[in-house]
Amino acid sequence: MRDILPNQARRWDLVEQKLTRVLQQHAYEAIRLPLLEFTELFARGVGEATDIVEKEMYTLADRDGDSLSLRPEGTASSVRMLQEHGLLYNQTQRVYYAGPMFRYEKPQKGRYRQFYQIGAEAYGFTGPDIDAELIGMAWACWQGLGVESMVNLEINTLGSSEDRQQYRTALVEFLTPKSEQLDDDSRRRLTTNPMRILDSKNPVTQALLNDAPKLPDFVDAQSREHYEGLKQLLVAMQIPFRENPNLVRGLDYYTHTVFEWVTQDLGSQGAVCAGGRYDGLVERLGGRATPGVGFAIGLDRVVLLHEIAVANAEPESEDRSADVYLCVTQPECNGAALVVANALRAALPTLRVRQHMGGGNLKKQLKKADACGAVAAILIDDDSLDQRALTIKHLRDASMGQQTLAFDAGIARLQQL
């Protein structure tokens, strides 16, 4: 688990704001999920045989012996929440969540044990139009961040859960006689979660799979129609995509549409967003059959992408922790400075105003002002309050010097900086 320091957190805030803004523009509503749930929820929702439940959860015993787990993902909790509060009954829902998820994985660039997701989900819709809306929303996210040229969309259909079952059986029949040639993980998965074998990065396993039964051949007419419908909508929306018949997802709950946005720019941790349809999940968690579809964006990886995109556009990204810095010319002016600082914040709500603390001569204070990257220092003296005047010292352009202006004129000047 890693720390996110102020100079990184600034970028995180920016990226998060841009992403949530896109979701809000689509009228998805925020929900806040608990960090801990009963382990049982994930075992049933995500699936007993998945990597997540088998070996990646942080599980602890409560004081009264209940088994709880830190959430490894958000969808199971969303279903539980909406279900528990009667919000799936006879209605549709479009919601999003954001926050940390926890998985015990091998940490490396782009893969962490506490990582962050922003996820969107829609419940109660059966058609491919909502799948397209969600994919379009992710696309709008990439455009909003200026990383759309760095990501590629891959799609596939898993068919209905019956189709999936039949395919699973055929795949196991095909691979079992060849199990000696499979890599260790894949051999284990043959009995636990065979479809994940398609995901294997092992070249020998991949070669074996060339002649294996193909999932698309097992997909029924209705599911195929859904998939064709989605593809037409993506074309209409001018969202480029690639069909990848080997795309399966690590979580058990997917049916029909699955998709992933991948990048070449982050090494082997290439997936920045993954999602799909999970029509069986609500029922599996004890509710009435309700279709669902959604995605989760991996924020850690998107922040890394944004960093690359911005570094390409403007090599020197700015490192400024305050916009203006208030200095006091005498210690008695501290009170006046606190008042003026608030007046500045009220007049210019997006201005980041930092006040000097702890005394010291003006030269020392100006040094601090410079170090934090502020564009101007405001020098507070005895008259500042009485005269409603602002003395502005420009820090980035020496030719602009220092001026004392009436408060409103000073505000207008600061606004231009």
| Residue closer to ligand ATP, measured from CB, 130 or 274 | 274
| Residue closer to ligand ATP, measured from CB, 277 or 368 | 277
Query: Which residues sit opposite 151 in a β-bridge?
Result: 263
CB of 134 to ligand ATP, least distance (A): 13
Query: Which residues sit opposite 402 in a β-bridge?
Result: 393
| Residue closer to ligand ATP, measured from CB, 103 or 226 | 103
Q: Is 105 in the site for ligand ATP (CB under 6 A)?
A: yes
- Pairing between β-strand 255-263 and β-strand 376-380 as defined by DSSP bridges: unpaired
Among 53, 82, 197, 273, binds ligand ATP (CB under 6 A): 273
Token pair belonging to 174? 């095909």
| Residue closer to ligand ATP, measured from CB, 50 or 160 | 50
Among 111, 188, 284, 354, binds ligand ATP (CB under 6 A): 111
Q: Which stretch in 127-135, 179-187, 295-303, 384-392 sits in contact with ligand ATP by CB under 6 A?
A: 295-303
User: In angstroms, rounded to a whole number, what is the distance separating the alpha carbons of residues 392 and 408?
Assistant: 13
Helix/strand/coil for 379: strand
Q: Residue 75's CB: how many other CB atoms inside 10 A? A: 25
Q: Is 293 in the site for ligand ATP (CB under 6 A)?
A: no
CB of 164 to ligand ATP, least distance (A): 17
Among 47, 292, 298, 410, binds ligand ATP (CB under 6 A): 298
CB of 100 to ligand ATP, least distance (A): 10
Short-list 249, 336, 237, 339, CA closest to 294: 249
CB of 324 to ligand ATP, least distance (A): 37
Among 78, 117, 223, 257, binds ligand ATP (CB under 6 A): 117
238 Cβ contact list (under 8 Å, min separation 6): none
Q: Which stretch in 88-96, 153-161, 271-279, 377-385 sits in contact with ligand ATP by CB under 6 A?
A: 271-279
Q: Which stretch in 109-117, 229-237, 304-312, 400-408 sits in contact with ligand ATP by CB under 6 A?
A: 109-117
In this structure, are residues 305 and 292 in contact, taking their beta carbons and an 8 Å threshold?
no
In this structure, are residues 177 and 62 in contact, taking their beta carbons and an 8 Å threshold?
no
| Residue closer to ligand ATP, measured from CB, 274 or 327 | 274
Query: Sheet holding 324-328: strands in order across?
Result: 353-355, 324-328, 376-380, 389-394, 402-406
In this structure, are residues 103 and 115 in contact, taking their beta carbons and an 8 Å threshold?
yes
Q: Is 152 in the site for ligand ATP (CB under 6 A)?
A: no
CB of 369 to ligand ATP, least distance (A): 38
Query: Which residues sit opposite 390 in a β-bridge?
Result: 405
Token pair belonging to 371? 């170090």
Q: Is 271 in the site for ligand ATP (CB under 6 A)?
A: yes
Among 22, 82, 147, 272, binds ligand ATP (CB under 6 A): 272
Q: Residue 234's CB: how many other CB atoms inside 10 A? A: 21
Structure letter (DSSP) for residue 50: S
Q: Is 103 in the site for ligand ATP (CB under 6 A)?
A: yes
Q: Is 296 in the site for ligand ATP (CB under 6 A)?
A: yes
User: In angstroms, rounded to a whole number, what is the distance separating the alpha carbons of residues 84 and 82?
Assistant: 6
In this structure, are residues 312 and 376 in contact, taking their beta carbons and an 8 Å threshold?
no
Task: Tell me, residue by residue from 345 to 374, as one string, x for binding to ligand ATP by CB under 6 A and - for no binding.
Answer: ------------------------------
| Residue closer to ligand ATP, measured from CB, 256 or 301 | 301
User: In angstroms, rounded to a whole number, what is the distance separating the alpha carbons of residues 224 and 278?
Assistant: 16
Residues that bind ligand ATP (CB under 6 A): 73, 103, 105, 110-112, 115, 117, 250, 269, 271-274, 296, 298, 300-301
